[in-house]
A and B are shown apart, each in its own frame.
Chain A
Amino acid sequence: MITYEFLQQYWWFLISLLGGLLVFLLFVQGGNALIFLAGKDEREKELIVNSTGRKWELTFTTLVTFGGAFFASFPLFYSTSFGGAYWVWILILITFVFQAVSYEFQTKAGNLIGRTWFRVFLALNGFLAPLLIGTAVGTFFSGSKFVVAKEAVGNVAAPTISKWATEWHGLEAVASMFNVGFGLAVMCLAIVLGALYLINHIEDDRLAADLRKWLKISFGLFLIPFLYVVYRLFTMEGFAVDTEGVVYMQGGKYLQNLLQMPMVLSLFVLGVLLVVGGVAGSLLKPTFRRGIWLAAPGAVFVVMALFMIAGYNNTAYYPSTADIQSSLTLANSCSSEFTLRTMAVVSLIIPFVVAYIAYAWRQMDKQSLTREELDTSDKY
């Protein structure tokens, strides 16, 4: 029987999946963060830009679909978070806006500010977008300062139902070590994935050696915030919800969620092992180039598990520290049963979409990108 509650859980699963896929596809950003670090000369920079440049639309599209899916399934989150944490989302969007044009503009005659600046925009997007997205997602556990009062619709002079309780409008998130740690972990993970993707996609020994060096550095840097975030996550109080929908603080809530949902625990552990396996394989064996295909599902699984412990098992996934009862739960923020049911039918198309993306990806990447190809084919 497909109940309203089941549909809420199903849609949170899809949000988790899209979130996981988005983090995996942030390899584009991670790769761009390495333009000036791993790319020693113009040719190497060109290889990196042209490698990530053939996938950037997928990351962009996943971000847009992630937003659209959240809007359709949990509109109160869309309303509260985007309208409240205004500056964080605007900054994220601006970095993506610059990225969108930079590929196309960078080498074209007449681009006004020169190739280097557009590559700087790509690199800035590479660092900042994962950092800011990660910081924003950190608030799914640490909370944000907002109040939701649906009665406000009856107040003609001030009908806005969700209000941010601080003038910082999202920038206050960086005052939390946990949020910043979350952001740094996502940023370093993106660079790890970017390095692994480039190692796989580009056939160039000199660049590969540099990429492996940066893989080692970025993975080492990733471990620090990641372990900190995991430690905090498993020891901090969480925002639990009782059967009446009342939100209350519960010690070790997120660790309990993990232990009480063995499937999610398995997903998390498997994800971590796959990421470690992908990185270790690439670092230990210089001829091993398929690390991305271990780390990619690993990243997806870890992120999915984190979203699941944020929203499943009677947990408020977008908690408010200004008014705990304003916290968003799957039940109080979701769309109507009719809409969730209709959209669930629409979601059946997703495997078909994934299949044609995989087919086109395979067709395009049958051969690795080489210096020679840049001379003979279309390029950015």
Chain B
Amino acid sequence: MIESGLVDWSRLQFALTACYHWIFVPLTLGLSIIMAVMESIYVIKGDLFWQKTAKFWMKLFAINFAVGIATGIILEFQFGTNWSNYSWFVGDIFGAPLAIEGIFAFFMEATFFAVMFFGWNKVGKRFHLLSTWLTGIGASVSALWILIANAWMQHPVGMEFNPDTVRHEMVDFWALVMNPVASSKFMHSVFSGWMTGAVFVIGISCWYLLKRRETRFALSSIRVAAIVGLAGTMAVMFSGDKSGVQTAEYQPMKLAAMEGLEKGGKRAPFSIVPGIEVPGMLSVLATHDLDGFVPGINDILDGYTDESGKVMPSAEDKIARGKRAIDAFSTYRAMKNESPSVADSARKVLQENMPYFGYGYLQSRNDLIPPVSLVYWAFRAMVGLGAFFLLLMTAILWFECRQTLVQKRWLQHIALWTMPLIYIAGQAGWIVAEVGRQPWTIQGLLPVNAAVSSVSVGAVQTTFFIFVAIFTLFLIIEIRIMLKAVQKGPEIEHK
């Protein structure tokens, strides 16, 4: 028997690590591009001011980068330590992008990070610039392969279940790579990183403006960051729209939870906040059609017929078919040597019911409902803040182009205090994507209770609290070091 509480503590530990990791990664993704642009300007113009500007942001980048690496390694190995059944059941597919990430991206990041940071006096200007770009590209390539892996968990494709080896096996690598969910997830995550980098640079630069110091440095940094940030915001909006349509198609329960939609239908309304709705808007967003049908939580549990006439079974039916698949699997395994004909018919039953295999591990229909309130509010936080960042960056760039930003102290205050908000938006996005798909580790195939390792609850609780202590300590230290470094400043204009 799985020990009571083991699944929840294992989930909590994974969520903790992922949340902390996602504090540091977006800044790495965004800041790497911003400082690469700054160094490019330095190489093109030959103006040392831009070199010093890039170097200042590199200093902050390095502090952040270290903690991102520290939390990332725990995340990778947790698939084995805490989700061992998952590691075998889908390792044949899931392991590949992780290995490719290591070979293609990590070595690139690691090698060129050292050149970028220590190579100013050791390598030529152009090789150094290339190293800075390759550090940023390496981070994005790393995100690409991780998000290909993550997209496969959201929308599994390109595999078949093999009852002899008791796992899903890859049959189409390109289906995995070209998974439509992967491209939108990659764009949404990486470009949200650009937004994070931009808000971070703009916020710190505005602090200098408020303190009336480092003015040229601050305004120059703001200009680069706002352009990168606006480009990122556009891409995030585009990929967010695409992601919404895909969620409606592949993970309707997640979409229903995001909207708190109990009863769906055509011309489904979009909820701004509870009690305030825009009629038909959800149908437009989810299907790009005002008359598009969007199922609610109860529709999904009770079963419904979609627009194409396809009948979606009820939760009870799916669970029953899942249990049939699992029973057929056991029969096949027991009989494959003793009675090939019995094994053969069991295999057919297994194949017929395989799409519902994971449902067989669920106890009741309620297991299929993710935490609705959390997902609902996280989605509103993410979208609402995203719209605010778009306005802010547009305003910042507008006033900067008109050369009046220095006088707009109210805007500088807003930009400074927006810095924590970008992190809240990022965390909210993670909650929507990952909490919204519970109880599945792999959509429809493997729920969390069938994926967990056989370790004691006490062991997981202990490591959970150890990680809480370590990560929190690191976060506090990082913030303190960054604050000190910012207070000290780039020291360009004093010299």
In Å, the complex CA distance between A58 and B115 comes to 12
CB distance from A206 to the nearest CB of B (A): 23
Contact between chains at A68 and B101 (CB < 8 Å): yes
* Interface-lining segment among A146-154, A247-255, A311-319: A146-154
Contact between chains at A162 and B88 (CB < 8 Å): yes
Please indicate the chain A residues that have their CB under 8 angstroms from the CB of B387 in the complex: none
Please indicate the chain B residues that have their CB under 8 angstroms from the CB of A353 in the complex: 103-104, 107-108
In Å, the complex CA distance between A147 and B193 comes to 43
Partner of B455, one of A58, A83, A93, A366: A83
In Å, the complex CA distance between A78 and B327 comes to 27
Residues 49 to 76 of chain A near chain B (Cβ within 8 Å): 54-55, 57-58, 60-61, 63-65, 67-69, 71-73, 75-76
In Å, the complex CA distance between A179 and B455 comes to 23
* Interface-lining segment among B119-127, B228-236, B282-290: B119-127
Contact between chains at A108 and B481 (CB < 8 Å): yes
Please indicate the chain B residues that have their CB under 8 angstroms from the CB of A366 in the complex: 122
In Å, the complex CA distance between A93 and B95 comes to 19
Mark interface residues in B481-494 (1 if CB within 8 Å of A CB, else 0): 10111001000000
Please indicate the chain B residues that have their CB under 8 angstroms from the CB of A69 in the complex: 99, 102-103
Contact between chains at A159 and B102 (CB < 8 Å): no
Given contacts A81-B80, A87-B459, A159-B85, contact A109 B118 (CB under 8 A): no
Say yes or no for B305: interface residue by CB 8 A criterion: no
In Å, the complex CA distance between A339 and B480 comes to 46
Contact between chains at A86 and B77 (CB < 8 Å): no
Residues 99 to 124 of chain A near chain B (Cβ within 8 Å): 100-101, 103-105, 108-113
* Interface-lining segment among B164-172, B248-256, B374-382: B164-172
CB distance from B160 to the nearest CB of A (A): 9
Please indicate the chain A residues that have their CB under 8 angstroms from the CB of B81 in the complex: 82-83, 86, 89-90
Residue from B102, B166, B477, B484 whose CB has the most chain A CB atoms within 10 Å: B102
Say yes or no for B79: interface residue by CB 8 A criterion: yes
Please indicate the chain A residues that have their CB under 8 angstroms from the CB of B120 in the complex: 377-378
Please indicate the chain A residues that have their CB under 8 angstroms from the CB of B473 in the complex: 112
Residues 49 to 66 of chain B near chain A (Cβ within 8 Å): 62-63, 65-66
Given contacts A60-B73, A97-B70, A104-B66, contact A363 B127 (CB under 8 A): yes
Mark interface residues in B61-98 (1 if CB within 8 Å of A CB, else 0): 01101110111111011011111110111011111101
Say yes or no for B341: interface residue by CB 8 A criterion: no
Please indicate the chain A residues that have their CB under 8 angstroms from the CB of B453 in the complex: 83-84, 86, 160
Size class of the B contact interface (CB-based, 8 Å): 35 or more
Given contacts A71-B79, A109-B481, contact A364 B84 (CB under 8 A): no
Size class of the A contact interface (CB-based, 8 Å): 35 or more
In Å, the complex CA distance between A132 and B72 comes to 20
Closest to A363 in B: B123
CB distance from B455 to the nearest CB of A (A): 5
In Å, the complex CA distance between A377 and B119 comes to 9
CB distance from B115 to the nearest CB of A (A): 5
Residue from B65, B88, B169 whose CB has the most chain A CB atoms within 10 Å: B88
Contact between chains at B93 and A339 (CB < 8 Å): yes
Interface SS majority for chain B: helix
Mark interface residues in B193-220 (1 if CB within 8 Å of A CB, else 0): 0000000000000000000000000000
Contact between chains at B118 and A83 (CB < 8 Å): no
Interface SS majority for chain A: helix
In Å, the complex CA distance between A93 and B77 comes to 8
Residue from A65, A153, A377 whose CB has the most chain B CB atoms within 10 Å: A153
Contact between chains at A336 and B162 (CB < 8 Å): yes
Contact between chains at B107 and A100 (CB < 8 Å): no
Contact between chains at B111 and A160 (CB < 8 Å): no
Contacts A78-B84, A153-B450, A161-B88 known; 12 new A-B pairs at CB < 8 A: A58-B107, A61-B107, A67-B80, A71-B87, A71-B94, A78-B79, A79-B87, A83-B83, A96-B70, A104-B63, A338-B171, A364-B114
A-B contact pairs, 20 of them (CB 8 A): A57-B111, A60-B110, A67-B80, A68-B99, A76-B91, A81-B80, A82-B80, A83-B84, A100-B67, A108-B63, A153-B166, A158-B2, A160-B85, A162-B85, A164-B455, A338-B171, A339-B170, A350-B103, A353-B107, A357-B111
B residues apposed to A, CB below 8 Å: 1-2, 62-63, 65-67, 69-74, 76-77, 79-85, 87-89, 91-96, 98-104, 106-115, 117-123, 127, 131, 162, 165-167, 169-171, 173, 323, 326-327, 329-330, 333-334, 360-361, 449-450, 452-456, 459, 463, 466, 470, 473-474, 476-478, 480-481, 483-485, 488
A residues apposed to B, CB below 8 Å: 54-55, 57-58, 60-61, 63-65, 67-69, 71-73, 75-76, 78-84, 86-87, 89-90, 93-94, 96-98, 100-101, 103-105, 108-113, 150-151, 153-164, 167, 169, 335-336, 338-339, 342-343, 346-347, 349-350, 353, 356-357, 360-361, 363-364, 366-367, 376-379
